[in-house]
Amino acid sequence: QSALTQPASVSGSPGQSITVSCTGTSRDDGGYTYVSWYQQHPGKAPKLIIYDVSKRPSGVSDRFSGSKSGNTASLTISGLQTEDEAVYHCSSYTSRSSVWVFGGGTKLTVL
């Protein structure tokens, strides 16, 4: 159950765009892999912002988008706002092995 690999930190200025990568989201067991992204502010519970690689739950800003290429999933945040400053966790759930793994989390600083 190897963890996914994310950068420890990223930063950007208000209005800019940033991308957070997440490596290790492909499995060789033939099952379907669900990729999700969570936002977590200090002292708060995680919040789902992307699921099924690129879908947004109702109420999540369209400034958040997800994609996947090969073994790497990516979260892009456009038009950075100060309230986007948080830790972002990627995760993947593989249906065949029934294992859910998380990345180590990426701290986003909005300068």
Partner 1 sequence: EVQLVESGGGLVQPGRSVRLSCAASGFTLNDYAMHWVRQAPGKGLEWVSSISWNSGNIDYADSVKGRFTISRDNANNALYLQMNSLRAEDTAFYHCARDRRWLQSGACDNWGQGTLVTVSS
Q: Are strands 9-12 and 106-110 parallel, antiparallel or unpaired?
A: parallel
Whole-number minimum distance, CB 34 to partner 1, in Å?
A: 5
Beta-carbon count within 10 A of 50 CB = 25
Which stretches of the chain bind partner 1, using CB under 8 A? 1, 3, 34, 36, 38, 45-48, 51-52, 57, 89, 91-93, 95, 98-105
For the chain, how are helix, strand and coil distributed in percent, rounded to 5? Answer: 5, 50, 45
In the complex with partner 1, the residue whose CB is nearer, 82 or 98, is: 98
Q: Which is nearer to partner 1, 84 or 89 (CB)?
A: 89
- Of 16 and 52, the one with the shorter C-beta distance to partner 1 is 52
Q: Please report how close the Cβ of residue 45 comes to partner 1 at its closest, in angstroms.
A: 4
The SS3 call for residue 18 is: strand
Which one, of 49, 54, 22, lies nearest residue 38 by Cα?
49
Q: Would the CA dihedral through 76, 90, 39, 108 be positive or negative? A: negative
Question: Measured from the CB of residue 68, what is the shortest distance to partner 1 in angstroms?
Answer: 14
CB closer to partner 1, 79 vs 96:
96
